[in-house]
Amino acid sequence: MSNATRLRRRLVEHLLGEGVLHDARWMTAFRTVPRHVFLPRFFVPAANGWAAMESGDDEWLARVYSPEVLVVQLDDDSGLWERARYLGAQPGTPTSSSSQPTIMAIMLEELRVADGNRVLEIGTGTGYNAALLCQRLGSGLVYTVDIDPELVDAARKRLAEAGYAPSCAAADGAQGFPAGVLYDRVICTCSVSSIPPAWLEQTVPGGLIVTTLNRPIGGGLVRIVAGEGATGHGRVLARDGRFMPLRAHRFKPSKVPEGDLVWRPTRLPMGVITEVRSRFEFFAGLQLPGATATRDGRRAALVHPDGSWVRHRQAGSEFEVAEGGPRRLWETVEHAYEEWLDLGQPWRDRFGLSLDGENQVIWLDSPDGRTWPLCP
């Protein structure tokens, strides 16, 4: 048994232990597809940025089959890997990656594929996820698209090396796949602020779309049942996942003012709106559309494009905030928290979506319940 085979089996054991893998056919796919073929090189975190790692380096194969997310591109620039390799670690923002196998397994199972289903993948990336789909369904039923031609070319070659031949295209994933066919399933491995109508139009009525919501606060996985045309309905899933956004759906960073601040006490830690495990996080995001939470060391902040901002700190066992701008954002957080308690502390799986072209809303408990715009 080769070392790669042994490590693949160990990865499957990890996914089973995490409780994210149940279907025997997906277990076979993860045991079979050689992830190392799709990750001959990638970035690893370094003290001053991102260092370059490639096949043959110490720990390369172990990292490939670890449960980690592996970054393969920074700042949309494929040339930065070469710079990091020869000039040392480079700064940059990850713009393409091979996702954590844990979230990949969750999404593939939530897709609920059946033999004979035609699947569209948005976000080819390295090609590894497309290979898992090909192993499960056969290459002739898998279509994959990515906006970056270099990534698509590299993925196509690696897929062929591994023995798979899905239909690949370099195009804007928000427009689906330019093939003129309908799909039984659509899976998006990048997050979106709203559901592109093209995905709904290219999915057979009753077909499923699995993607993640790109929200500054309170994102997560959704599964949508396509209707006629650009309509559909769905649910926010209890099992969570976060991805890099589709390029057109990225947020622009905002800055928090420095200087003298007037602090006041609050009983809420910043973690109630920033930590994925917080049951309040999803509801908070609905009440704070457009607001972004940031952290710099021990300093936390909340900022909105309209110029409103919050700084948050811990003072001993207590918490304090300072606010500024046209609105008092932390007062909104505190009022939203009280409302959330009154509603019975709804978690993400009590929310659903109704979609009709560009008219897209999130609702609580039922489509007739309270609603919020999906993309304000």
**Active site positions, annotated:** 99
Nearest to 130 by CA among 317, 313, 16, 120: 120
Nearest to 126 by CA among 63, 41, 247, 20: 41
Burial 302-328 (b: 16+ CB within 10 A, else e): bbbeeebbbbbbeeeeebebbbbeebe
| Strand-pair partners of 361 | 354, 373
The residue type found at 281 is E
The residue type found at 255 is K
The residue type found at 216 is P
- CA angle (215, 217, 222) in 5-degree steps: 50
Residue 90: DSSP 8-state:
B
The residue type found at 373 is P
Under 8 Å between Cβ of 268 and 329: no
Q: How far is CA 353 from CA 58, 262, 369, in A?
A: 46, 40, 11
Q: Write the DSSP string, 324-336.
A: ESSS-HHHHHHHH
Give Cα 51 to chain centroid, integer Å. 23
Under 8 Å between Cβ of 105 and 14: no
205 in helix, strand or coil? strand
Burial 268-283 (b: 16+ CB within 10 A, else e): bebbbbbeeebebbbb
